[in-house]
Structure 1
């Protein structure tokens, strides 16, 4: 083969590889668009905002949820409904057509930030304020509704505050009220960040300069990192320290008070990892004694807790994880080949270090590009995270194809020809060759990041963009560290083992866990989309393996494999969109007994003519726990239900569940408890919030 032909093959391989990567990037962004979205015009702002409606064609009589999405730049924040000692909250001025009314602003659970002794109730991460718009039943389908809202808010850093504003238009057309699945998922994620109302009244008492609030909170429910955010203004001293204790089914928080007060106090209790409960407190008695509970502390929140010390730990773990990637067979051959090339350089440290830095730059830029794509998906409204991805059938399908391809590579069905192209580049271009080999090493290592880097990537996706990109850079630095060490420590170059038959055997053994991972992904796909998932996964796997064999026999550039994978991904995505989803999988509610709540299962039981007692509960709901102990989990109730054939169905709302949130809203509720009885025939009956055994046994009659 001539040098020109060799260069031509390398060029075609690189072009094909680049096209395939662009195709997959386009595919990743394929489903990010949504209806009725508007962004602030003009220059970039410190807290970027946009408005988005859950549906652009609401039905007459519907309630349409509108999200005002706020995205602070790193180092900036905006404010909760009660901003605290400084700042101003979001203000909305609606211009609405006849037949449309806007409800109050619903805000997610805030964070705390103390700057120069002033307490701020803020948001540093991307979040959304929600407003419900009521569409009048008299409006006719096809009528266009042009909504306008003028928004004003404060954008602040630790040093300055800047007033910002924007005007938004939301074009709606009265229609059938359909909501796209992805749009519903997006809004369910926003709703999940909202606090839920407490089912009982809290008490407060003022004693001099301190105020104590006794909040009903089940003794069995976990409570830590608590903080009370008062929505009623001019009562609390916001920057005063808070202490917390619990006794029995009460959680008592004590803080500083500005002045005497005898009215009601509205506020929000934050606890755990960002959960929140809305409550109302009136003057009353405060229980004494109890055990101390941890509070957030001055300026500390679940997300703010990622201080410089914890961030350094995460960064160190990401570097260590990247270093461990070099033990993977898919990466080690590249490292070994480049290390031997350095050893053959005859001790020219300047050349070795130049190539090492170029190789490191290629890896770092590739890892940063990967991080930017993932952060871009998050900024577009996708809650990207490893566990979240594995709940998405399309992502599972892509991972299945990827694991099959890796397994085929490890058993020797095909070789990564791009690596060879990298070696050609390395021989031809010096530092440029090392740079491209670093790019290729990062591309090959990317599929291996899952088992090692789940924790680091998960943390990165919760951090501000600048810190998150540093985590991805840490992964790349760890991957490049052995090469840097070999380049800068001459003694290591002499001790590096040369590639040999042992690497082939290790590589073949690594095919076993990769193959098992592929089987696990196939099983997971079937769990997510039903039995059709087996067929879709198996057929796609077979097509991919056939393509691999054909590519190997015809000696086609392996970069074409990305094109085949892209076509399979598009086809798989179209198929998955058309497959029905099975009923909800098991959840924590299974521990409570009965059927796990799902609207599909409820409809099935009703179609079968079976009476159903449906109740929603949560660990933090005192009324729920009392009713369960006093009425639901009683022998008399069980016997009566068994005799009458009443099916019990349970919805666990300890952590907000989008399906339960929507179901509660249909019945005019935003929290638990809710008790419903569906007879064999007739309409649903809403039961009282305080239940007795006789209330339930009467249902059997």
Structure 2
């Protein structure tokens, strides 16, 4: 157990997320705020309290001074001016938090940890700044099923000339929960492998009630084991088992007994003879704690094997392969049609190629820079984060619907839009090519092709400039085929001469556009449920009606156009919220599908602890490669038979909508996007497979389990 505490300390130091200094810090699990209470101002002999208030999200908790079987107490490091010193934390009475056959002592809901400040006559406020500046660096471990070490830096200025009593109620409540000292003689006797405790002087009001027992010295008792207590007249007695991994033999054992928010503290000497300390057995920790320790202790598997040059090369190859993705093909098809119109315009081709390349590269740099900036601000994001937004999905579906209707011949931009706007493409072919590159990246970026996963995971850990070089390499790779074609005249000569086939080809290209819309609607259905997908379809039909109405002539255009616009506006007002809503939990959580079970934090370690190997499919509905692998290799009969034969547990982590826990799990593997396929074995590092799975690759990995 002692080694467990050391590991937790290392975990907190290595992985705690830093926050900018301020009066409060908010994470996904807690809101921590530095408060002060100085009703008589700040001066020698005056009562001054400061404290860290932690508001926990439901089911999350932090720890008392003795955390119990696992965990770490909250630690406060103060920076104060000369003449001011901080005392110890006045720990409120904790609650007992069972975890399987273990137990912890800590706090749920809202807790304030008060600390008294002693102001001596040596304290001299600055002439320019008369306030007392209190600085605090705090570390806390917050746990639910998983454990997250966090930290924050706080700065608070306490006026010296006026009172600070706005937080008086909070401090009064916290101080009321302090255990009251008992002056009566009490006993703790070691009797074999148990402690016999006797307490006198407790109020008559608690006589006969069941009390909680909280020792302040860790690693002495078996915290989660059953124990007995009884009242003998006004004397409370208890028999508590000693821990099999006891690491201390204290001469005195301070402890708190409590019922509800009322508690009493005593510090009796220990009599009797402590049993000899046994050799420390391997610590038995909960799967949640094992998850936190493993995430801190294991380096990302892929990152150490890459250099910047190799990462850029893999990113370049990945960008090339992106051109084969179905989501990119419609955009490239439009560019092909443009080639056929001006087959002899060599200069125009080259300028368009450079502009398209610039659009692709700039877009990748912008997306990469935005992701790095948001991650630096504390957001848990990965590559493809833009398609985790239902709004972005809906806008892309609308854009591709418009393009598809145009290609199908429903309308021409020249007649549908004002002439100044409609002629923009002809007047500004360079900008048109640039925007085509932007559009290609918007839809292609989530399709993490082979060789890109490790490079993107590696890039996230690099300084910003080097990371952007990797993102830029992806863009160059994606634009390279079109750029090369635009600069090689032989390609233009290979294209057929303009003719009637061009109209057929143009209308044919409408169908990949509509197929892309169908895919986007399906993706939205995974994010917002069937109601969201249905709402998007209705709005797309209404939008198509608006476009058709404005192709009419005369009065019909005015009347039908006005009615169609009003219909679209009414539908958007009534049905639009369904697109962005969070569906019920059963719709957003990856449901069990055949042998596949939903992934959740700590689940892998639970299965490994039972001796069962685990295979995790990190996937998303908007990831085309993921869907291809799911329907081919992961559905192959031989693969499924091998998995069954080795009793491999199958987990599916659905990243369709933003999930910080999955983002963190991907980061541990040196990845920032999906697909990622991993085999876990007890006592061995994870086996990360390639993004485009082959049957033989998976079967070979299974054979090694």
Smaller-chain TM-score bracket: 0.3 to 0.5
TM-score, length-scaled by structure 2: 0.40
